[in-house]
Amino acid sequence: MLSILRKARLKDKELRILMLGLDNAGKTTIVKKIMNEDVNTVSPTLGFIIKTIDFHGYKLNIWDVGGQKTIRSYWRNYFEKTDALIWVVDATDKLRIDDCKAELKGLLQEERLAGASLLVFLNKTDVAGGMDEQEVTRVLELERILTHRWVVVSCSAMTGKNLETGLDWVVQDARDRLFLY
């Protein structure tokens, strides 16, 4: 039933994207860069921000939800009708990678996120000494994920590097899964 509803909605070429990750991973900066807004004035997101963009003929509704520890328990309020989950990882934050892994693992067990595409944006790869895609894939145990189609894309929210590549994958995966035209 859920997939039938998704297919009906997606005939309008509209996707609901939930962007989550630990605080300071760069979620809001990514959204601002995608929207061509100033990325030099970003403050922590307390609650959520919704931005809609037209992307290659699709309407992407991006829900950017704050990642502070005190807010994470409210994430479940945003799961309904999610077509894709963008999980943002700070490539330079090796100290909290285990927290990052635990939060992602919990999200992927949520029934309301079942079937959603998973894009892992490995952000801040323009900063020296950060983790690479292989290390993050290994540490987050992504290869064990059998419930979601996933990909890791290295990016930089500040420069915009690979942001479009990641969104391209999200749209293509939704097309493949949900029979979009």
Q: What are the residue ranges spanned by the domains of the chain?
A: 1-180
**Span 44-88, pLDDT tens digits:** 898 899 999 999 999 999 999 999 999 999 999 999 999 999 999
Task: Give yes or no: 68 in active site.
Answer: yes
- Can you tell me the mean pLDDT for 166-175? 94
Separation CA 121–CA 138 (nearest Å): 15
pLDDT more than 90, % of the chain:
84
- Helices (H) and strands (E) counted in the chain, each on its own, are 5, 6
| pLDDT given at position 154 | 98
Question: Do the annotations mark residue 137 as ligand-binding?
Answer: no
Considering 68, 109, 134, 172, which one is annotated as catalytic? 68
Fold of 1-180: Rossmann fold (3.40.50)
> Could you give the 3-state DSSP secondary structure of residue 121?
strand
Question: Do the annotations mark residue 166 as ligand-binding?
Answer: no
Question: Do the annotations mark residue 21 as ligand-binding?
Answer: yes
Pairing of strands 84-90, 58-65: unpaired
Separation CA 16–CA 115 (nearest Å): 13
Max intra-chain CA distance, the chain = 47
